[in-house]
A and B are shown apart, each in its own frame.
Chain A
Amino acid sequence: MTKQIVTAFNIKKYFQIRRGVWGAIRRLPILYAKAVDNISLAIYEGETLALVGESGCGKTTLGRLILKLIDLTEGYIFFEDILVNDLEKEELKSYRRKVQIIFQDPYGTLDPRYTIGATLEEPLIIHKITKSAAERTEIVSKILEEVRLIPPDEFMRRYPHQLSGGQRQRVAIAKALILNPKFIVADEPVSMLDVSIRAEILELMKSLKEKFNLTYLYITHDLSTARYISNRIAIMYLGKIVEIGPASKVIDEPLHPYTQALVSAVPEPNPENKFKMREIKIIGEIPSAVFIPPGCRFHPRCPYAMEICKKVEPELVEIKPNHFVACHLYSGNKRYQETIQIPEKFVDMVKVSSSSNK
Chain B
Amino acid sequence: MSLLEIKNLKTYFFTTKGIVRAVDDVSLSLNKGEILGLAGESGCGKSTLAYSIIRLIPPPGKIVSGKILFEGEDILSYTEEEFRSKIRMKKISMIFQGALHGLTPVYTVGYQLLEVFKYHSDIEETKAKEIITETVKLVGLDPTILRRYPHELSGGQKQRIMICMSILLKPPLVIADEPTTALDVVVQAQILNLLKELQAKFNMSMILITHDLSIIAELADKVAIMYAGKIVEYANSMDLYKDPLHPYTQKLIRSIPRLKEDISKLEFIPGLPPDLRNPPSGCRFHPRCPFAMEICKKVEPELVEIKPNHFVACHLYTK
A interface, CB within 8 angstroms of B: 54-55, 164-167, 194-200, 202-203, 221-225, 227-228, 248, 251-252, 261-274, 277-278, 280, 282, 285
Bound-state CA distance A223–B199 (Å) is 28
Return chain A residues, CB-CB under 8 Å to B258. 224, 227, 268
Q: Chain A binding site: helix, strand, loop or mixed by DSSP? A: helix
Q: Is residue B133 within 8 Å, beta carbon to beta carbon, of the partner chain?
A: no
B interface, CB within 8 angstroms of A: 41-42, 154-157, 184-190, 192-193, 196-197, 211-221, 237-238, 240-242, 251-253, 255-260, 262-263, 265-270, 272
Could you tell me the distance in whole angstroms from the C-beta of B45 to the nearest C-beta in chain A?
14
Instruction: Given A164-B272, A271-B241, A285-B156, verify A263-B267 contact (CB < 8 Å).
Output: no
A-B contacts at CB below 8 angstroms, number: 133
Query: Can you list 19 contacts pairing A with B, beta carbon distance less than 8 Å?
Result: A54-B184, A54-B187, A195-B255, A251-B260, A266-B185, A266-B214, A267-B188, A267-B215, A267-B217, A268-B259, A268-B260, A269-B213, A273-B217, A274-B218, A274-B220, A277-B193, A277-B196, A280-B190, A285-B154
Bound-state CA distance A146–B168 (Å) is 53
Bound-state CA distance A223–B259 (Å) is 7
Q: Do A282 and B186 touch across chains, with their CB atoms under 8 A apart?
A: yes
Could you tell me the distance in whole angstroms from the C-beta of A190 to the nearest C-beta in chain B?
10
Bound-state CA distance A195–B253 (Å) is 10
Could you tell me the distance in whole angstroms from the C-beta of B262 to the nearest C-beta in chain A?
6
- From B156, B189, B192, B212, A195 is in contact (CB under 8 Å) with B212
Bound-state CA distance A252–B258 (Å) is 12
Could you tell me the distance in whole angstroms from the C-beta of A58 to the nearest C-beta in chain B?
14
Could you tell me the distance in whole angstroms from the C-beta of A159 to the nearest C-beta in chain B?
16
Instruction: Given A199-B266, A277-B196, verify A265-B188 contact (CB < 8 Å).
Output: yes
Name which of B193, B218, B237, B269 has the most chain A CB atoms within 10 A of its CB. Answer: B218
Q: Do B189 and A196 touch across chains, with their CB atoms under 8 A apart?
A: no
Return chain A residues, CB-CB under 8 Å to B218. 267, 273-274, 278
Q: Do B266 and A195 touch across chains, with their CB atoms under 8 A apart?
A: no
Return chain B residues, CB-CB under 8 Å to A248. 262
Q: Do B259 and A195 touch across chains, with their CB atoms under 8 A apart?
A: no
Instruction: Given A203-B268, A269-B241, verify A262-B155 contact (CB < 8 Å).
Output: no
